[in-house]
């Protein structure tokens, strides 16, 4: 199983971006990283440009990251093991962070995330074979003033009958930013909180097939 990373950032967030790049550099599994930091285009297009670059790699999965993602220990190893346990052919996007409070039961390792409630694009795993379709959808609907997360949810309804996505429990990422500056180029009016289901950077996913 292979990954290609697509990071969306903007120049004024260089400290967050630098911290994320330093974290990715020490991952046990090396993964190609592609970045778009184009502040002259709309935020959704900036994300599309990052994914377009990442598609140049022969990967099974595109990992879309925003620059304020904090990663758990052995991030790519954990992600691969979790996907082997929980990926389904009708689900093409897997949010790795969630702002809803989820189960504390150690036996619960995934949650069916209802599309009607889905938001937040800090870390999204996207099936690489369908990523070009996502880009086309985003660009054909660039007049719709909704964030990358909501647009991804709308797109998923066009390629799958699944009423939900699937997210790991606990989360594999923490949201490190205090506010979002990626929505329309200015700070959002509301602070974006931490993920309630995140349980620490030392966590790693070990379960594989039971």
Write out pLDDT tens, residues 55-111. Answer: 999 999 999 999 999 999 999 999 999 999 999 999 999 999 887 777 777 788 999
Q: Which residues, other chains included, contact 13 with Cβ-Cβ below 8 Å and sequence gap of 6+?
A: 67, 68, 177, 181
Q: How far is Cα 73 from Cα 15, in angstroms, rounded to an integer?
A: 21
- At 187-207, the pLDDT tens digits run 443 445 678 788 889 999 987
Q: How far apart are CA 71 and CA 204, in angstroms?
A: 10
Of 4-13, 45-54, 97-106, which range is least confident? 97-106
> 61: closest CA among 2, 142, 11, 120?
2
Instruction: Give the pLDDT score at 179.
Output: 57
The dihedral over CA atoms of 96, 196, 78, 115, expressed in degrees to the nearest 10, equals: -30
Q: Is residue 5 a contact partner of residue 32, using CB atoms and an 8 Å limit?
A: yes
Q: Is the peptide bond before 92 cis (omega within 30 degrees of 0)?
A: no
Q: Tell me the pTM.
A: 0.89
- Map residue 15 onto helix, strand or coil: helix
Note whether 54 and 47 are within 8 A (CB).
no
pLDDT of residue 108: 87
Select from 109, 95, 97, 84 the least CA-distant residue to 1. 84
Which one of 3.90.550.50, 3.40.640.10, 3.30.300.30, 3.40.190.10 gives the CATH number of domain 3-175? 3.90.550.50
Distance CA 93, CA 101 (A): 20
CA proximity to 124, closest of 200, 194, 62: 62
């Amino acid at each position: 199983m292979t990954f290609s990373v697509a990071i969306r950032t903007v120049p004024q967030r260089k400290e967050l971006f630098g911290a994320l790049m330093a974290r990715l550099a020490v991952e046990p599994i090396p993964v190609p990283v592609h970045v778009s930091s184009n502040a002259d285009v709309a935020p959704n297009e900036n994300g599309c440009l990052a994914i377009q670059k990442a598609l140049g790699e022969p990967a099974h999965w595109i990992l879309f990251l925003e620059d304020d993602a904090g990663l758990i220990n052995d991030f790519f190893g954990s992600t691969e093991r979790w996907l082997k346990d929980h990926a389904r052919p009708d689900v093409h996007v897997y949010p790795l962070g969630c702002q809803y409070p989820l189960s504390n039961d150690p036996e619960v390792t995934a949650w069916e995330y209802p599309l009607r409630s889905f938001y937040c694009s800090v870390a999204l795993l996207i099936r690489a074979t369908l990523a070009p379709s996502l880009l086309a959808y985003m660009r054909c609907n660039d007049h719709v003033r909704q964030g990358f997360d909501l647009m991804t949810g709308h797109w998923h309804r066009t390629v799958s009958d699944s009423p939900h996505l699937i997210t790991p429990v606990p989360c594999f990422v923490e949201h490190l930013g205090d506010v979002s500056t990626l929505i329309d180029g200015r700070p959002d009016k509301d602070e974006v909180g931490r993920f309630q289901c995140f349980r620490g950077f030392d966590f790693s996913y070990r379960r594989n097939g039971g």
